[in-house]
Structure 1
């Protein structure tokens, strides 16, 4: 199925700027439409409705909230002009719990594109790509800050263990893999016993030239995938997010969390 309708989350961070540029580049390449969305909470540390809060204090709180949103809108406008999308790309503003808003919105698009998280992000516009991938039911591409969307790449990569989440990542990324024309299937340690040849045949029938690279279980999964990507510089790494529980991943510092925090290329998450 073609990717025709893309949603990009924009919160003014360097990561979201990279995500916007990536979405624009993808839309141009695939002939798709892009919608930008700024999701934010009300940015209140205290309840402005309390009778103990003076009118002046309420005004200051409201001004602080408005100022933050205005700065984000100004940065979006600058990027929109630089991309030459002034007449075709608008910024939707939606208030609520950020991850919930974006998860619900993403269900109406083919894909959500977001920037990687940063400790410098304002807490009221901060999003969590892994949670959104779990909640939305849609693929999420996480673009690291500073990533060059126009860089030349030769192929993509697919992390494969034969599990349900990996199969979903394959399905969600297939249009992009077809566009790249080449994919490296990366397996580390134990995987489903079903022959890998069937996956390679499936990719070839979609016009994708595939090669398989395998490492034994003595290799740490995240470190191995990241080292391979650093060496070969693919356009995308597609992975199945949280094949086990997210609590277990968070508690143990799992593969998904590790890759998202360290990747220098876009990562497609599916669950």
Structure 2
């Protein structure tokens, strides 16, 4: 099934703009549609209903929040001519818990594209790409700030450990990998079914090369170093094969990659 229906989490940040440009590039190539969704929380940082807060202050706070949302939509409209999608770009603002709202919406799309999490994003529109990968059931492409979607890249990279999550990521990304025509399979230590994987990709018309590191090499550092040296168009990897709590506690692979990578990452869980 071709990739024809893309959702972008757009909150006005630099990284969400990069995600929107990346989605627009994909859409122009495929004749696809892009929906930019502004998910925004209705939760207040403190209770404005308290009788101790004057009505004038409540009105100011409500106006400030509305101003943030309006400014984000205005930013999207300013980008429309540059994106060149015409009627193939739509906008939707949807209230609710941001990660949950985006995850539930993503289930009706081929994939969701998001910017990297930024600490200075306003609390009402802040999202967490890793949580969306866990909750949505759809592939999530995380685009770092400043990424040039139109730059020339020779191939894609697949982080492979033979796990269920890696297999899911491979399946979710196959259309993109076929379009690249060449995939570098990255492994650390011994992995199962490597030859079968290479054969599977070749039967999809994908040229494959293998780059492996022996046991004991730091997985995240090895992958990041490879991507810095070879500048692939995309890194494909499974997300949170172990629990997210354990990853957060120990500083796991998914967290390290998303924090430091300079190319888009497709995550599946």
Q: TM-score, normalised by structure 2?
A: 0.97
1:12-31 to structure 2, matched below 5 A, reads: 12-31=12-31
- Is contact 2:36–2:92 with CA below 8 Å preserved after alignment? yes
- Is contact 1:43–1:65 with CA below 8 Å preserved after alignment? no
Partner of 1:215: 213
Partner of 2:90: 90
Structure 1 residue matching 2:88: 3-state secondary structure = coil
1:21-100 to structure 2, matched below 5 A, reads: 21-42=21-42, 44-100=44-100
| Displaced runs of 4 or more, over 6 A | none
Structure 1 Cα separation of the partners of residues 7 and 182 of structure 2: 25
CA RMSD of aligned residues (A): 1.2
How many aligned residue pairs are there? 269
Structure 1 Cα separation of the partners of residues 174 and 18 of structure 2: 22
- Is contact 1:159–1:238 with CA below 8 Å preserved after alignment? yes
- Is contact 1:142–1:268 with CA below 8 Å preserved after alignment? yes
Residue 54 of structure 1 deviates from its aligned partner by: 2.5
Structure 2 residue matching 1:148: 3-state secondary structure = coil
Query: Does residue 175 in structure 1 map to residue 141 in structure 2?
Result: no
- Is contact 1:44–1:61 with CA below 8 Å preserved after alignment? no
Q: TM-score, normalised by structure 1?
A: 0.96
1:60-209 to structure 2, matched below 5 A, reads: 60-192=60-192, 194=193, 196-209=194-207
Residue 191 of structure 1 deviates from its aligned partner by: 2.5
Structure 1 Cα separation of the partners of residues 108 and 69 of structure 2: 24
- 1:39-91, CA deviations, whole angstroms, 9 ceiling, x for partnerless residues? 01126223333344332122111111111111111111111122133433121
Structure 1 Cα separation of the partners of residues 190 and 210 of structure 2: 15
- Stretch moving more, 181-190 or 106-115: 181-190
- Is contact 1:14–1:146 with CA below 8 Å preserved after alignment? yes
Structure 2 Cα separation of the partners of residues 248 and 122 of structure 1: 27
1:4–1:87 distance in 2 versus 1, CA, 3 Å = closer
Partner of 2:264: 266
Structure 2 Cα separation of the partners of residues 263 and 19 of structure 1: 14
- Is contact 2:28–2:85 with CA below 8 Å preserved after alignment? no
Structure 2 Cα separation of the partners of residues 55 and 244 of structure 1: 48
- Is contact 2:42–2:97 with CA below 8 Å preserved after alignment? no
Gaps of 5+ in 2: none
